[in-house]
Structure 1
Amino acid sequence: MILNRAILVLTAALLLTATPAVADKTTITDVTGRQVELDLPAKRVLVGEARQIHVIAALKGEHLFDTIVGWRDDMIKKDPDSYEAYRERFPALESLPQTGYIPSGTFSLEGAIALKPDILTLNLEAQKSAQESGIEEKAAAAGIAIVYLDFRVDPAKNSEKSIELLGSIFGEKTKAAEFIAYRRAQIALVTERLAKAGNIVRPKVFIERSPGISGDNVCCRTFGPANFGEMVELAGGHNIATDVISTTFGDLNPEQIVVSNPDHVIVTGANWAAESDINQFVHVGRGADPENARTKLEALMERPAFSSLAAVKNGKVHAVWHQFYGVPYEFVPIQQFAKWFHPDLFGDLDPDKTFREFHERFLPIIYRPGYFVSLPAGEE
């Protein structure tokens, strides 16, 4: 009896050892409120916007591309300076399969399915098109879980949630928490000091979205109360566009800008050589040439709506890297804006040092400056 009992125990143990472990399903809630059931961490991820790499890199470091099976082609076209930095560090990136963009109709679901991803991460802006085209339903039928993230439409509401989601997807919850804590602390260096300063005078600020990239829009795309508009407010300025528009993105006409007569003008810029039809944009970003950027910035201020503004006359004209608008690195421009708006209050802040420190602590690429520029009289 004792021998038989021992044999039964041994047989049961062998059966347990031979049976593959079944992964536990985890339910997460994405930024749209959708509940998604999946196995975590994911083994194969299709990154639906390549610029999400700026966040994933802060979580995965040297292992950034271990579980990424493909990505959208937007970083190559819209953020080539960053793409080159990651290509230098990860040469295999050149052969990483690319997908198109769902709202533009260039996304191939068949191509995505062929990559056998567990998860497809999409930006919030793609949700409507993904639903109307049937891609959301068809992806689910193919066993691909879609998770929506948002760093652009309503960053204040969704950025930290999106970082947490990526932390869960890539098995880096602790690193995600560290990222969020660092981001909060760096923003607090500005907001807490402003709160202690009391009733400060907030300069009027106009921030123009990507001027000089296209001849179809001479002036004046801008930001409402969210995104760069909110960064202006957090830094102690008043975004004049919020007096007129309530959406994340919108347009002012030149006459409105002239009437508002802002104290500071900030334009967003990047390396858009692959997309621009007029090449008048301000190229700022990783390793950008500051003299070239100033020349382009000065030329933009010669447009009729700008030449008479107080900001231009007083030399308070600046450019900021456009891609900050879709990456939760906004603590860097908030610090820089605060220095521009209130130089006496924030003279000790060093946004360049902050961003360098962030790279050294979180990112697998080397830092190179070039993300901001001012016209000479505007340098504080």
Structure 2
Amino acid sequence: MLKKWISAAWLIGMLLISLPASAQIEITDQAGRTVRLAQPAQRIFFSEPGDFTVMAMLEENPAKRIVAWNRWRLDKHTLAHWRSIDPVAFDKINQMVIDGPQNLNAEMLIANQPDLVVLDHFFANAKQTIARLEQAGIPVAVLNLEADLRDRNATEGLEKMAILIGREQRGREVADFIVRHVQRITQRVARLREQQAALPTVLMEPHAGTGPCCMSVGSGVLMGDLVQMAGGKLLGSEIVEGLSAQLSAEYVIASNPEVYIGTGGRHIEARGGLLLGPDIDAAASRASLQRVTQRIGIAQTSAVRNQRTYGIWHSGYPIVNLELIATWLHPELFSDVDPMATLDEINQRFMAKPLSGTFWVTPNPTQKAH
């Protein structure tokens, strides 16, 4: 009996000796590449500005894990908010402005000594840079962190990121929250389509108010596809190619959309655009919506006559935006859906410091807006 015990103990000891000192982290990224880390990433570079927001859902203090970040297109107010979580850690981040994969320089990234480089699919086209980084021993993961609600595996990117930083359980919690809220909308819209119910025509104008009527988003663009997911017909989708295109005022008037939704942000304030985002007063936002919808082309539509004109922050949480659009298009069907409650739950459960401001707007002060 003693011999058997000694043999078993020896075997266990040999197995333990043969194991690595720390368990290796391994994922397959969204480009099908194997990514291995010896330990959870602590010095990360992100290519996508919005990745900071996702990291803030996974990690109480995201700045501590970020060594460099492409903060291209983010306004100073949003940056000030993220900085306020931990100014000391935030100020240590190398704030880069890189407008495309052609300007993603390997040596510049290597100089920051990251232990993980995270590239979205747009920047993943920088094949030579990726090869140079991996030759230098720096792991590269191709991941879209922001949930693409159109995909069957909408939360795959954020869940894989959570694994890479040792926050797998947190990643599952965020993913489950998103999936549950998406299904609440899409399952009801599916029934509408099965019943062949009439769907409202929607004009969605990106960067609303920065020019004459009217730009329109195209199919295959997330914000435009949210309209279709929420049970609407996207005006111009049959003729708009790419991200967006100009529709003539005559075309808009003849099409007579039932609903108008403009996207806005602080970055277009100086050009008279739709004003939304952090630290924006609701009254100022509503005034900008009124100004935007008085342009020739929009002003002559039933959307304006019936006060079915809305504004939405282009950088908002996709799930909140989906719920907003659904309640605007089908108020009775989604009378129990409260986007404000969804935003509040995100802030309470997942965010160390919630953003404050006006992130959507309606034409009537008595309607729900925030």
TM-score, normalised with respect to structure 1: 0.82
- Residue type matched to 2:115 in 1? D
Counterpart mapping for 1:123-138 below 5 A? 123-128=120-125, 130-131=126-127, 134-138=128-132
Is the CA contact (8 Å cut-off) linking 1:99 and 1:108 kept in structure 2?
A: no
Alignment partner of 1:283 is 2:271: no
Alignment partner of 1:183 is 2:181: no
Alignment partner of 1:251 is 2:245: yes
> Of 145, 150, 156, which aligns to 1:156?
150
Is the CA contact (8 Å cut-off) linking 1:207 and 1:266 kept in structure 2?
A: yes
How many angstroms apart in 2 are the aligned matches of 1:25 and 1:349? 42
- Residue type matched to 1:173 in 2? E
Secondary structure of the 2:334 match is coil
Aligned to 2:28: 29
How many angstroms apart in 2 are the aligned matches of 1:170 and 1:105? 28
For these two proteins, the number of residue pairs brought into alignment is: 352
Is the CA contact (8 Å cut-off) linking 2:290 and 2:363 kept in structure 1?
A: yes
> Of 82, 87, 90, which aligns to 1:86?
82
Is the CA contact (8 Å cut-off) linking 2:276 and 2:359 kept in structure 1?
A: yes
Q: CA deviation at 1:355?
A: 0.2
Say which is worse superposed, 287-296 or 254-263, in terms of deviation.
Answer: 254-263
Q: Structure 1 residues 152 and 41, CA, compared in 2 at 3 Å: closer, same or farther?
A: closer
Aligned to 2:6: none
Deviations 1:294-334 (A, max 9, x none): 2222222233332222212222111101013xxxx322112
- Residue type matched to 1:190 in 2? I
- Residue type matched to 2:310 in 1? H
Is the CA contact (8 Å cut-off) linking 1:47 and 1:121 kept in structure 2?
A: yes
- Residue type matched to 1:282 in 2? L
Is the CA contact (8 Å cut-off) linking 2:106 and 2:130 kept in structure 1?
A: no
Aligned to 2:58: 59
Q: Structure 1 residues 102 and 341, CA, compared in 2 at 3 Å: closer, same or farther?
A: closer
TM-score, normalised with respect to structure 2: 0.84
How many angstroms apart in 2 are the aligned matches of 1:350 and 1:236? 17
Q: CA deviation at 1:100?
A: 2.8
Secondary structure of the 1:320 match is strand
Alignment partner of 1:122 is 2:116: no
Aligned to 2:47: 48
Is the CA contact (8 Å cut-off) linking 2:46 and 2:119 kept in structure 1?
A: yes
Aligned to 1:6: none
Aligned to 2:94: 97
How many angstroms apart in 2 are the aligned matches of 1:237 and 1:221? 14
Aligned to 1:343: 331
Q: CA deviation at 1:39?
A: 3.2
Q: Structure 1 residues 42 and 331, CA, compared in 2 at 3 Å: closer, same or farther?
A: same
> Of 206, 211, 219, which aligns to 2:208?
211
The CA RMSD measured in Å over matched residues stands at 3.1
Q: CA deviation at 1:20?
A: 11
Deviations 1:79-102 (A, max 9, x none): 433322221221121332122316
How many angstroms apart in 2 are the aligned matches of 1:287 and 1:235? 28
